[in-house]
Amino acid sequence: MTAEIISVGTEILLGQIVDTNASFLARTLADCGINLYFKSVVGDNPGRLASAVRLALSRSDLVILGGGLGPTRDDLTKETVADVLGIRLVNNDEAETRLRGFFKQRGIRLPEANLKQALVFEGGEVFQNANGTAPGVAVEKDGQWIVCLPGPPGELIPMVRDSLVPLLRRLTGPDGGILVSRTVKLAGIGESLVAERLSHLMDNSDPTVAPYAKGGEVHLRITTRATDEKEALPRLDGMDRQISDLLGEHIFGRDDETLESAVLDLCRRSGFSLAGAESCTGGEISRRLTSIPGSSDVFLGCAVTYANNAKTSLLGVRAETLAANGAVSEETAREMALGAKQLFSANTAYATTGIAGPGGGTEEKQVGLVYMAVAGPWGVSVSKARFRGGRETIRAHASQNTLYSLWTALRSLNQER
Amino acid sequence: MTAEIISVGTEILLGQIVDTNASFLARTLADCGINLYFKSVVGDNPGRLASAVRLALSRSDLVILGGGLGPTRDDLTKETVADVLGIRLVNNDEAETRLRGFFKQRGIRLPEANLKQALVFEGGEVFQNANGTAPGVAVEKDGQWIVCLPGPPGELIPMVRDSLVPLLRRLTGPDGGILVSRTVKLAGIGESLVAERLSHLMDNSDPTVAPYAKGGEVHLRITTRATDEKEALPRLDGMDRQISDLLGEHIFGRDDETLESAVLDLCRRSGFSLAGAESCTGGEISRRLTSIPGSSDVFLGCAVTYANNAKTSLLGVRAETLAANGAVSEETAREMALGAKQLFSANTAYATTGIAGPGGGTEEKQVGLVYMAVAGPWGVSVSKARFRGGRETIRAHASQNTLYSLWTALRSLNQER
């Protein structure tokens, strides 16, 4: 079974909102073992929408439309689809009752225009909407299915889970199988080198392996089609093992694990606490670490010391160090990390100092120059890099590399034990 | 001139990454006065990509493809487009030199596979890539233009600004007119209330006004079509004035201004320095403030005090305060803000303490409860809120509201003078 997604709405087409619905639908289809080959966006224009629907029906078994079920004159998805399919729209009593109840509960008069939201495809299925006023509608015509869902993610997502997925499971039947995936995550290595080292696995047909680069990491997605998770697991494990044998030293996690959660896990395993000192990254590393639920049992805090005075008064960086080497230097990074370790009474600490730009660079110390220090039972190690790109790119690279240095140091310690 | 965007990549199609490039390109096309009618996504499959390109050429004057210029065998955008158009790919010396330099600088051997990134359309234009290894390529064929851009947003966005926009301006010529926009940004008010208060402006046909909600802010986009910026300016100003008359107290900035840059500007105007203390937000506010170039002349630093000990030792929050009221309390927030002000010798300071969840909530203090304090010449004011949503949503709301409180306090002070 092949599917296609059409997102409807001028505000999506013009980039005023990012289309998160389509990503969610794509993952849902994969979980149901349905192949997705095309996704498209059209504005609130009946003519162009009709041509997109006709094209989709010419090449896909299942067409899912999101958006355009609202009450305004611009919302014409159901009307357009009914027209293309040559079927009628009829009133759905339950949808109308819910619609009236929705407005009554809020003490608002029901605008006449909203009544069209209770119209559904004749002979089709209706997905009642627990979170809004527009029901979803679906219909089969000549063996093909068309589904129309409301645009707001807060309505679409629960409706997909509660109504669309059961329909899809019914359509694919017990024999269709599901796609099961695992993502193996690597850092400290580039995508092209990963692809080169694993080139013999990239052509594998089951499971398939696909690399993609994401924020200084390489993610390898292993996918297999199986009747259930139990059948899929040994295949995923086998491929995972082959990847680990070749590139194990770069693998910091799988699936929902992140570099920051991996760092926290290694600290936890060693009984270590962690603190930080950030200059050029401005709190980004601290933000990433504390984005992990439960980070408070390991992470004590961080001193964002933007001003030189703060580096001295909070972290104990010596005035002579700053005078002799400048704030962006190996020595300052070292003293910042040691200072943070002491300030928070932590077992391990990290520090960053650099020039994020666009101003502040000199010939000797150019924009993008960053020193990153990690302190712990191993002492202090400082790495230096010159990152390219704009301010946010440089800060993101510096954050990612600091977390990677921390992870490497903690893992070596763990392996020695 | 009509355009169409095709995003290439299985990871976009399958929803593993959200397609922010397409939104950016859509806004860029609007700014150039080019109509966009379709956007689509295809996976890394040459057959389906070829059919998408053929379809696009059958209905649009300009086709922009993003992604698939990488070094791996999956990356086939240029090859596929060349095939559809019946043109040749040739080596570009400057691109090859840059490619070799990129790897040499990093001390990495150039993988053979990367060399194909230096291939460009024969007789076409080349957009050199300052932030990565794949140049962008563009070519005209029978009056239609096809443009291929690299997928990583850190490469695509600067390339669009530096190379694609000048090309588009050349293509549309001086008579096509341009769309000129201004975004007026509001905080502390909801989208529906804005729409209600401005309902008489929403139907205006020139300039148009469109509201959209974004991360706790409401952005109003004013747009007009004109021959040049000079002609557009009075129209934008007129509408801006009407909006300001009605909702001026909520307007913190326009276009590229952000709430954090507005806070820094107000501090700068008053000659104030700023410091912070963050618990539940974990450094997010500090990260936002320091994302603004030049923030270092105002922002001194921030103490991320996750552990209670750190709140006491760094910020001087009294042990009795913590014992009597808990870390998540009005009193603790107040002492944190005053402590940060003193610790960094700053004129103004902010503080956050709350329960970001998912764990840690009690019946009395539920997940989402956050206290936000701002200290300055006005004394200390603390606000309390209960935010809904997941951990990151709660942290984002708390950060946004703290910055809004700070902005409100600084502006009142500024107006009094």
- For each of the domains in chain A, give its residue range(s) and CATH number, in order of start: 2-172 (3.40.980.10), 178-254 (3.30.70.2860), 259-416 (3.90.950.20)
Residues A195, B39: C-beta atoms closer than 8 Å: no
Inter-chain CB proximity A306 and B296 less than 8 Å: yes
Q: Average of pLDDT values for A115-122?
A: 94
Q: Give the nearest partner residue to A306 out of B152, B154, B301, using CB atoms.
A: B301
Which carries the bigger pLDDT value, residue B73 or residue B364? B364
- Per the confidence metrics, is the pTM higher than 0.95? no
Annotate B16-59 with DSSP letters as a single string.
Answer: SS--HHHHHHHHHHHHTT-EEEEEEEE-S-HHHHHHHHHHHHHH
Which range scores top for mean pLDDT: A22-36, A56-70, B14-28?
Answer: A56-70
The tally of CA atoms less than 13 A away on the side-chain side of residue A335 is 22
Query: Tokens 């990690």 correspond to what residue?
Result: A374
Cβ separation of B38 and A36 shorter than 8 Å?
no
> Quick check: B340 pLDDT over 70?
yes
Per-residue confidence (pLDDT) for residue B323, from 0 to 100: 96
Burial of B339 (0-12, 13-18, 19+ CB in 10 A): buried
* Residue among B43, B73, B16 at smallest CA distance from A181: B16
Alpha-carbon span A386 to B401, nearest angstrom:
35
How far apart (Å, rounded) are the C-alpha atoms in residues B157 and B21? 8
| A154 three-class SS | helix
Specify which residues B217 forms β-bridges with: B187, B214
Tell me, yes or no, if A37 comes closer than 8 A to chain B by beta carbon: yes
The answer, yes or no, to whether residue A79 has pLDDT greater than 80, is yes
Q: What percent of chain B has pLDDT over 90?
A: 72
Say how far apart CA B135 and CA B129 lie, in whole Å. Answer: 5
Task: Select the highest-mean-pLDDT range: B87-101, B273-287, B354-368.
Answer: B273-287
Chain A residues in contact with B48 (beta carbon < 8 A) = 37-38
pLDDT of residue B192: 72
Residues within 8 A of B (CB atoms), A 301-320 only: 301-307, 309-310, 313-314
Mean pLDDT for chain B? 92
* Interface probe, candidates A42, A181, A304, A393, chain B, greatest B C-beta count within 10 A: A304
Q: Looking at per-residue confidence, does A30 or A59 come out higher?
A: A59
| Strand partners of residue B376 | B379
β-pairing verdict for B62-66 and B144-149: parallel
A157 touches chain B (CB under 8 A): no
Could you tell me which residue, A333 or B177, shows the higher pLDDT?
A333
Q: In this structure, what token pair is assigned to residue A200?
A: 């013999």
* Option in A291, A293, A301 nearest B304 (CB): A301
The percent of residues in chain A predicted with pLDDT above 90, rounded, is 73
pLDDT tens digit string along B171-192? Answer: 887 666 777 889 999 999 877 7
Q: Per residue in A127-158, pLDDT tens? A: 999 888 899 999 999 999 999 999 988 899 99
Tens digit of pLDDT for each residue in B220-273?
989 888 888 899 999 999 999 999 999 999 999 999 999 999 999 999 999 999
In terms of CA atoms, which chain B residue is nearest residue A385? B106
Worst-scoring range by mean pLDDT, A219-233, B116-130, B187-201? B187-201
Q: What is the ipTM of this complex?
A: 0.78
Cβ-Cβ contacts under 8 Å for B174 (sequence gap 6 or more): B227
H or E segment to which residue A119 belongs: strand A119-121
Closest-CA residue of B relative to A183 is B16
Residue pLDDT, tens place only, A269-317: 999 999 999 999 999 999 999 999 999 999 999 999 999 999 999 999 9
**CB–CB of B66/B7 below 8 Å?**
yes
Which has more pLDDT, A348 or A213?
Answer: A348
Q: Does A278 touch chain B (CB under 8 A)?
A: yes
pLDDT at B111: 85
Taking alpha carbons only, the member of A156, A170, A78 closest to residue A117 is: A78
Task: Name every chain B residue with its beta carbon within 8 A of the beta carbon of A388.
Answer: 130-131
Least Cα separation, residue A90 to chain B (angstroms) = 30
Cis preceding linkage at A152, omega within 30: no
Distance from CA of A85 to the nearest CA of B (A): 22
Interchain pair B17, A52: CB under 8 A: no
pLDDT value of position A416: 77
Whether B310 and A301 lie within 8 Å, measured CB to CB: yes
CB contact under 8 A, B304 and A276: yes
Those residues whose C-beta lies under 8 Å from the C-beta of residue B346, and which sit 6 or more positions away, are B272, B273, B274, B275, B300, B340
Closest partner residue to A388 (CB to CB) among B131, B310, B392 is B131
Question: What mean pLDDT is predicted for residues B145-173?
Answer: 92
Q: What mean pLDDT value characterizes chain A?
A: 92
Of A342-356, B195-209, B298-312, B324-338, give the lowest mean pLDDT range.
Answer: B195-209
Is A237's pLDDT higher than 80? Answer: yes
Whether residue A113 lies within 8 A of chain B, CB to CB, comes out as: no
* pLDDT top residue among A17 and B243: B243
pLDDT for B80 beyond 70? yes
User: Is A210 in contact with A217 (CB distance < 8 Å)?
Assistant: no
A361 neighbourhood in chain B, CB within 8 Å: none
Which of B18, B40, B310 comes nearest A38 by C-beta? Answer: B40
Q: Tell me how far apart the alpha carbons of residues B216 and A407 are, in angstroms, rounded to a whole number.
A: 35
Question: Are B375 and B341 within 8 A, CB to CB?
Answer: yes
In angstroms, the CA B138 to CA B82 distance is 11
CA-based nearest distance B388→chain A, Å: 13
**How far apart are alpha carbons B5 and A42 in whole angstroms?**
11
Give A267's contacts (C-beta < 8 A, 6+ positions apart). Answer: A273, A274, A298, A347, A348, A410
pLDDT at B174: 64
Q: Chain A residue closest to B285 (CA)? A: A283
Judge whether residue A176 has pLDDT over 80. no
A12 — pLDDT class (breaks 50, 70, 90): confident
Strand order in the sheet with A274-278: A379-386, A369-376, A348-354, A274-278, A299-305, B299-305, B274-278, B348-354, B369-376, B379-386
Q: Are residues B154 and A299, on separate chains, in Cβ contact within 8 Å? A: no
Closest partner CB to A305 (pick from B11, B301, B313): B301
Query: Would you call B17 and A212 a contact, using CB atoms and an 8 Å cutoff?
Result: yes
